[in-house]
Chain A
């Protein structure tokens, strides 16, 4: 960073801070336009969004801090925001507040003021506040707070120019607004401030640091120890804390929170010219009377979910067929570039490896777009919070969050959008738990496997119950595992559940479009990188080494067999796969998979299933020397029924349901969780559990069959 600064003037470092739902992201989008990037902070699920824009002659680097209610370091979001404030040398911090929630929002402003940063107050959603009849004098407010104040409507792009000018004004001034807390508290903070180690005492955030020392914030104490804080400091802080607590008859946290809210209350008492009408939210409240009604609430929610999934899969079907046709046509065209008889490895790589692998992932794009359209609508309208309200008790019993419900449901379509939909969960542990167990929801790709296996092994009367059983087994196991995760790896004090229910709002098309396109792009990029490389690897494993002589050719040449050209091709494919790396791995795996009742053929097919679950069907087809196989193939079914018992089929289905989520899922989990550790745990943990369950089911089952 510092080396770049030598060539050109350093850009102005500006951050956006604010409560969740204050509309920070829309302000961010308005300021930066397309010049922005999104990634996770390393190792955590918190999203980092940054970008830049031009302010006159000056380049501005803008950071969107995670939404927080305060700067106390309890959640990862709060820690990120606080570290940025204390360490990033920000020139200006824009505090974005919801104008209809000034009382609560001004608390964060108070804490920012203690951090000694130059602040701009952006009163967002100003249109809603005006509609509610709220009137506030901006000049009076600016004077009172000592920082620029602007009104904005992020969703409509109003007030953005004023905001830019206010940022420039704040950057140019030397004013750090000072927060004056009540006398006793202020005096204690000042006294501790004077005892801080030199480096901290000189920091603009001195008041904030002293406040945290006063309340006994362990996080700050660690920092102090690193900076060789005087040993008497903690003792002094403790005494000051106890004195205040005794004097006021309440603990220090309560005293401090009350002081911040008193500041907010004073600001409003002095500057609010007209309060909002009491019935400003009547419209939204009336909708809630129906949508979260005691009896109607749940059925309405169920109907809405059904509607979204129905639209996703029916409207998605046509474009999926187009993509499928497109990729097939591309494959055929590439195949045609080589004259018959001169097929090369490159051709096979392009057609079977790359187009097959990437095409298999891209094909889900229409589903994903439609599903995200539905989800974005639920989120931006405010209904998602209601859905979480309705579902929370059930989900919480299993260690999940009310908002986990929608991603889990989505997982029945495909784990990929499901995992991406976990972004609606603010809490890291909730999000990780949901993400890790989500692949147990039997996805659409696995349905093709059930459609092949169930009719092959079970009498018609048993087919529907069997399918139901598989889905139920996945749900049950997901619930159990979520519960277990919450008492083991993701254990820890329960995160607070204090969920705001914002009024219903009309979603803004532009913002929905942005949300969807961002997620679609992440999905496509994944298809283009990780999935592409694994596809190539898997292609290589199933295609190499090549057999030079096929036994079937030999037998046919000797007249021992007489087969049609198609049967010969099938036999060759079978021999080729058996000879390939994947085939050999399948054979080598046999001792390991035998306890589940599987042989090398199923083992080899399962290697393909790692690429994508539906590949299992094609691979089984190859090991059974069938060309052109789909799940409707009745010959393949009868061959399977001949070779395996229904018990093996059950064991196999359970294994495919639970084990090895597909590679796209693993790659996405790594990205969304911020670490490969979780992805590997998902892969290893689920596969281990699948193995255990299949072995038990097969061996116990054998006693009865």
Chain B
């Protein structure tokens, strides 16, 4: 599944980063690499971008970027946010 499909508060491991060119390179430069662990923090009120957490970083990604990141949710990881 893609990062965009994660529920708010869900943790996941990145399995692959699709796409080509500058967009993919930027994702890789930020450390969005296979085996990295991320948390879906929130989605903007208008439905995009999404806000994720990666290590000490917090990042906003547009739908396009979010759908090119394939993830594997970590079991029983949903921490419900207030």
Given contacts A101-B57, A497-B62, A500-B57, A258 and B26 within 8 Å (CB-CB): no
CB of B60 within 8 A of CB of A70, answer no
Interface residues of A in 375-389 (CB under 8 A from B): 385, 388-389
Say yes or no for A103: interface residue by CB 8 A criterion: yes
Which residues of A are found within 8 Å of B29, using beta-carbon distances? 69-70, 72, 107, 257
- Choice from A257, A289, A292 contacting B44 with Cβ under 8 Å: A292
CB of A392 within 8 A of CB of B82, answer no
CB of B28 within 8 A of CB of A253, answer yes
CB of B28 within 8 A of CB of A500, answer no
Say yes or no for A494: interface residue by CB 8 A criterion: yes
Say yes or no for A507: interface residue by CB 8 A criterion: no
Say yes or no for B49: interface residue by CB 8 A criterion: yes
CB proximity of B65 to chain A, nearest CB, Å: 6
Given contacts A254-B34, A257-B29, A497 and B45 within 8 Å (CB-CB): no
Mask of A277-308 contacts with B, CB within 8 angstroms, 1/0: 00011000000010010110110000000000
Given contacts A257-B28, A498-B27, A392 and B62 within 8 Å (CB-CB): yes
CB of A396 within 8 A of CB of B62, answer yes
Whose C-beta in chain A lies nearest to the C-beta of B28? A257
- Choice from B30, B60, B62 contacting A385 with Cβ under 8 Å: B60
Say yes or no for A238: interface residue by CB 8 A criterion: no
Report Cα–Cα, A70/B27, bound state, in Å: 11
CB of B59 within 8 A of CB of A500, answer yes
Which residues of B are found within 8 Å of A495, using beta-carbon distances? 22-23
Say yes or no for A261: interface residue by CB 8 A criterion: yes
CB of A496 within 8 A of CB of B22, answer yes
Whose C-beta in chain A lies nearest to the C-beta of B63? A393
Number of B residues whose C-beta is below 8 Å from A?
A: 35
Mask of B7-28 contacts with A, CB within 8 angstroms, 1/0: 0000000000100011111111
CB of A74 within 8 A of CB of B49, answer no
Say yes or no for B58: interface residue by CB 8 A criterion: yes
CB of A292 within 8 A of CB of B33, answer no
Whose C-beta in chain A lies nearest to the C-beta of B8? A294
Report Cα–Cα, A493/B22, bound state, in Å: 8
Which residues of A are found within 8 Å of B75, using beta-carbon distances? none
CB of A298 within 8 A of CB of B45, answer yes
Find the residue from B27, B28, B29 having the highest chain A CB count within 10 A: B29
CB of A74 within 8 A of CB of B22, answer yes
Report Cα–Cα, A253/B26, bound state, in Å: 11
Say yes or no for B6: interface residue by CB 8 A criterion: no
CB of B60 within 8 A of CB of A389, answer yes
CB of B49 within 8 A of CB of A392, answer yes
CB of B26 within 8 A of CB of A74, answer yes
Whose C-beta in chain A lies nearest to the C-beta of B62? A497
Which residues of B are found within 8 Å of A497, using beta-carbon distances? 49, 60-62, 64-65
Report Cα–Cα, A100/B55, bound state, in Å: 10
Whose C-beta in chain B lies nearest to the C-beta of A296? B45
- Choice from A104, A250, A258, A394 contacting B30 with Cβ under 8 Å: A104
Mask of B42-82 contacts with A, CB within 8 angstroms, 1/0: 10111111010001111111101100000000000000011
Report Cα–Cα, A272/B23, bound state, in Å: 31
Whose C-beta in chain A lies nearest to the C-beta of B30? A498
Mask of A68-86 contacts with B, CB within 8 angstroms, 1/0: 0110101100000000000
Whose C-beta in chain B lies nearest to the C-beta of A103? B55
Give the interface size bracket for A toward B.
35 or more
Say yes or no for A501: interface residue by CB 8 A criterion: yes
CB of B21 within 8 A of CB of A390, answer no
Which residues of A are found within 8 Å of B58, using beta-carbon distances? 281, 500-501
Which residues of A are found within 8 Å of B55, using beta-carbon distances? 103-104
Whose C-beta in chain A lies nearest to the C-beta of B82? A289
Which residues of A are found within 8 Å of B33, using beta-carbon distances? 254, 257-258, 261
Which residues of A are found within 8 Å of B45, using beta-carbon distances? 294-295, 297-298, 390
Whose C-beta in chain B lies nearest to the C-beta of A502? B58
CB of B27 within 8 A of CB of A496, answer yes
CB of A392 within 8 A of CB of B59, answer no
Report Cα–Cα, A107/B64, bound state, in Å: 25
Say yes or no for A646: interface residue by CB 8 A criterion: no
CB of B60 within 8 A of CB of A104, answer no
Which residues of B are found within 8 Å of A75, using beta-carbon distances? 22
CB proximity of B7 to chain A, nearest CB, Å: 14
CB proximity of A703 to chain B, nearest CB, Å: 41
- Choice from B26, B28, B44, B47 contacting A254 with Cβ under 8 Å: B28
Find the residue from B21, B30, B44 having the highest chain A CB count within 10 A: B44
CB proximity of B32 to chain A, nearest CB, Å: 8
Given contacts A298-B45, A392-B44, A74 and B56 within 8 Å (CB-CB): no
CB of B59 within 8 A of CB of A501, answer yes
Report Cα–Cα, A250/B24, bound state, in Å: 14
CB of A101 within 8 A of CB of B60, answer no
CB of B42 within 8 A of CB of A393, answer no
Which residues of A are found within 8 Å of B46, using beta-carbon distances? 390, 392-394
Say yes or no for A337: interface residue by CB 8 A criterion: no
Which residues of B are found within 8 Å of A107, using beta-carbon distances? 29, 31
Report Cα–Cα, A257/B24, bound state, in Å: 11
CB of A74 within 8 A of CB of B28, answer no
Given contacts A104-B30, A292-B42, A498 and B59 within 8 Å (CB-CB): yes
Interface residues of A in 471-516 (CB under 8 A from B): 493-501
Say yes or no for A688: interface residue by CB 8 A criterion: no
Report Cα–Cα, A499/B24, bound state, in Å: 14
CB proximity of B48 to chain A, nearest CB, Å: 5
Mask of A355-366 contacts with B, CB within 8 angstroms, 1/0: 000000000000
Say yes or no for A11: interface residue by CB 8 A criterion: no
Report Cα–Cα, A295/B43, bound state, in Å: 12
Whose C-beta in chain B lies nearest to the C-beta of A503? B58
Find the residue from A72, A297, A496 having the highest chain B CB count within 10 A: A496
Which residues of A are found within 8 Å of B30, using beta-carbon distances? 69, 104, 498
Given contacts A74-B26, A494-B64, A496-B22, A393 and B31 within 8 Å (CB-CB): no
Say yes or no for A51: interface residue by CB 8 A criterion: no
- Choice from B25, B56, B61 contacting A72 with Cβ under 8 Å: B25
Which residues of A are found within 8 Å of B28, using beta-carbon distances? 253-254, 257
Q: List 23 A-B contacts (CB under 8 A).
A: A70-B25, A72-B25, A75-B22, A104-B30, A107-B29, A107-B31, A250-B34, A254-B28, A281-B58, A292-B42, A389-B51, A390-B45, A392-B44, A393-B44, A493-B21, A493-B23, A496-B23, A497-B49, A497-B62, A498-B26, A498-B27, A498-B32, A499-B61
Question: What 13 additional pairs, Cβ within 8 angstroms, besides A385-B60, A388-B60?
Answer: A104-B31, A104-B57, A276-B56, A297-B45, A389-B44, A389-B60, A390-B45, A393-B49, A493-B21, A495-B22, A495-B23, A497-B61, A499-B59
- Chain B contact residues, CB within 8 Å of chain A: 17, 21-34, 42, 44-49, 51, 55-62, 64-65, 81-82
Return the 6 tightest CB-CB contacts between A and B, nearest first.
A496-B26, A74-B22, A257-B28, A393-B46, A496-B23, A497-B62
- Chain A contact residues, CB within 8 Å of chain B: 69-70, 72, 74-75, 100-101, 103-104, 107, 250, 253-254, 257-258, 261, 276, 280-281, 289, 292, 294-295, 297-298, 385, 388-390, 392-394, 396, 402, 493-501
